Amino acid sequence: MYTPAALLLTTLLPLLGLLTPAIATPVNAVCTQCDVNPLGNADKTCDITTSCVRTNYQGQYHCACRAGYKSSAPNNDSESHYRVNFPNEGFRVFTKPGVVCDTLCDKYWLGPDSCQEVLVRQACL
């Protein structure tokens, strides 16, 4: 599925990756992936505020937030939302399936380079 969020991931993130400093505490845990089929398992369906995208690295599927947004969960709730550092492409916030991603990040104006308050889960790459 080719969504605006997927478009952002493939076009905007590489542009901003050069500006991204890698500063965050990695958190390792198994990641709950999403199902791109909206008629699939409801437990794996992304909220409409996110898009289920496949990463180009290990091919995991995650619910991608719009640039500059996170969920309303505490910043350290890395089960609900987390960032991933894509090599040379910067960061983005992703959520567990079903989590609403409608809260503006700190420094949201930095787009994909914002949201540094959300923890990194590099295992979700």
Ligand X SMILES: *[C@@H]1O[C@H](CO)[C@@H](O)[C@H](O)[C@H]1NC(C)=O
Residues counted in the chain: 125
Q: Which is nearer to ligand X, 58 or 106 (CB)?
A: 106
Please report, as ranges, the residues that interact with ligand X according to CB under 6 A.
Answer: 74, 76-77
Instruction: Provide the minimum distance between the beta carbon of 96 and ligand X in the complex, in angstroms, as a whole number.
Output: 13
Q: Could you tell me the smallest distance in angstroms from the CB atom of residue 90 to ligand X? A: 24
Q: Which residue is nearest to ligand X (CB)?
A: 76
Which is nearer to ligand X, 72 or 76 (by Cβ)?
Answer: 76
Whole-angstrom distance, CA of residue 37 vs CA of residue 55:
16
Which is closer to ligand X, CB of 26 or CB of 40?
A: 26
26 vs 74, beta carbon nearer ligand X: 74
Q: Do residues 121 and 93 touch, judged by C-beta distance below 8 A? A: no
Closest approach of ligand X to the CB of residue 44, in Å: 22
Give, in order, the Cα–Cα distances in Å from 114 to each of 29, 37, 57, 77, 125.
Answer: 23, 29, 22, 17, 18
Give DSSP secondary structure letters for 25-46: -B---PPPPP-S-TTS-GGGPP
Q: How far is the CB of 112 from ligand X (least distance, A)?
A: 24
- Burial call 65-80: b when 16+ CB within 10 Å, e when fewer: bbbbbbbebeeeebeb
